[in-house]
Amino acid sequence: MNIVVQKFGGTSVASRDKRKQVAKKVALAIKEGYRVVVVVSAMGRLGEAYATDTLLGLVGQQSSRHISNKDLDLLMACGEIISGVVMVSELKAEGYEATCLTGGQAGIVTDESFSDARIIMVKPGEVLKELEKVPIVIVAGFQGVTQGGRVTTLGRGGSDTTAAALGVALKAERIDIYTDVDGVKTADPRVVEEAKTLRNITYNEVCQLAHEGAKVIHPRAVEIAMQGNVPLRILNTFTDGDGTLVTNCAGQGESITDIKNDRLITGITHKPHVTQLTVHNDQKSDAVPVKIFQSLAAAKISVDFITITDEKIIFTVKDIDKDNAVSIIKNLDLELDIKPDCAKVAAVGAGMTGVPGVMAKIVEALTEAGIKILQSADSYTSIWCLVTQKDMEKAVRALHRKFQLG
């Protein structure tokens, strides 16, 4: 059985006209000889009747403080189930037989971290059984069940994760992630007008881009697809473009005479609204960094951009965590400097590994643009720079120009 998994986001299923476009994409895969598993998100965004944030609004912010995440998951899971049944109706109206399964019925089994659960296994038997009867199985994304049968939701990007997990479990030929953009761009087109769509990209590159702020796909979904070595395509529901192919090799799918690994940098991404904290370790005690990071971890505060010297511990937190982090550090009787309104800008590319001069180019580009680098860090596929929030977009454009990505 040749299977393709297609995932459609909330904007793709928000109206009847848009759902007809979805039906066309599904029908095309059927005509190509595939059985199709369609993963859907809740319809639309905040304000639209069945969007996840709208459903949460039914209990209100005040009330939700008294509702457990276990109960909230029951509410949030409704949006995707509604989308799934409506999509079955649309497909049947077009003459295609289809059926709908919840995440739990589709075999998505998770841990018990309600509202932010992680998939621990997929039992694809029910999906395969249904695919023997009908060519299309719709699966409600963003949700699963615990081993005890409790409904869970998977957190931000959960429908992407559902699609990837099903794609791997079903040994699908590929996983198509449909959204409202043409694929992975060299930068956010709202910031860089000349940003172009990448035809091919590696799992590692797109994962880094997603981790560092690109919102085209959730990094967990990429990691799952990479583990199963199932190709991903990121496509626009409303156009007929080729989108971006994500595989282990940037040139896969191209003519073997093409050389596709000669690009130094694949894309520039950014993450706004972070605060830099500098904690003074006047006693030069090795115990101070341990106490700081243990205390922040206990409060579930994520840290980034970590630099530790004898006298200082420098790191960043999200702006929304700033006040809590500052309070924790002061309670440890430590002095600190606070620099809010910062942003993280990253250059990502597998081609930079082992190549000298990449950081020099980054420093040159930002210096020429009059942008101060507050901190930097790197991995084998990424170099990050911390800049002020007001300089963020200018920094992205400067790096995009320097590496000639337009």
* Tens-digit pLDDT profile for residues 325-355: 999 999 999 999 999 999 999 999 888 888 8
Note whether 383 and 365 are within 8 A (CB). no
Q: Which residues contact 131 (CB under 8 A, 6 or more apart)?
A: 1, 3, 35, 37, 137
Percent of the chain topping pLDDT 70: 95
CA–CA distance, 256 with 152 (Å, rounded to integer): 45
pLDDT digits (tens, 9 = 90+) for 204-233: 999 888 887 777 888 899 999 999 999 999
Q: Please check whether residue 395 lies inside any domain of the structure.
A: yes
Same domain, 39 and 163: yes
Residue 250 confidence class, pLDDT cut points 50, 70, 90: low
Contacts 24+ apart (CB under 8 A), 352-360: 352/264, 352/265, 352/380, 352/381, 352/383, 353/380, 353/381, 355/264, 358/264, 358/265, 358/383, 359/383
Model pLDDT, residue 210: 84
CA distances from 228 to 36, 166, 275 (A): 18, 11, 37
Same domain, 176 and 273: no
Q: Please check whether residue 220 lies inside any domain of the structure.
A: no
Q: Please check whether residue 204 lies inside any domain of the structure.
A: no
Same domain, 394 and 286: yes
CA distances from 89 to 23, 46, 79, 93 (A): 10, 24, 16, 6
62 pLDDT higher than 80: no
Q: Please check whether residue 308 lies inside any domain of the structure.
A: yes
Q: Please check whether residue 331 lies inside any domain of the structure.
A: yes
Model pLDDT, residue 299: 95
10 Å CB burial of residue 9 (0-12, 13-18, 19+) is: buried
End residue of a domain, out of 180, 199, 221: 180
pTM of the model: 0.83
CA–CA distance, 82 with 140 (Å, rounded to integer): 8
End residue of a domain, out of 180, 213, 234: 180
Note whether 173 and 133 are within 8 A (CB). no
End residue of a domain, out of 160, 180, 200: 180
What CATH number has the domain bearing residue 380? Answer: 3.30.2130.10
What CATH number has the domain bearing residue 149? Answer: 3.40.1160.10
Q: Which domain holds residue 276?
A: 267-402
Same domain, 296 and 176: no
Q: Which residue has the tokens 């300089």?
A: 391
Q: Please check whether residue 302 lies inside any domain of the structure.
A: yes
Q: Please check whether residue 235 lies inside any domain of the structure.
A: no
Residue 247 confidence class, pLDDT cut points 50, 70, 90: very high
CA–CA distance, 135 with 33 (Å, rounded to integer): 10
pLDDT digits (tens, 9 = 90+) for 367-399: 999 999 999 998 888 999 999 999 999 999 999
Question: Domain total for the chain?
Answer: 2
Q: Please check whether residue 332 lies inside any domain of the structure.
A: yes
Model pLDDT, residue 56: 86
Model pLDDT, residue 350: 82
Helix axes 219-228, 203-211, angle to 10 degrees: 160
Same domain, 31 and 167: yes
25 pLDDT higher than 60: yes
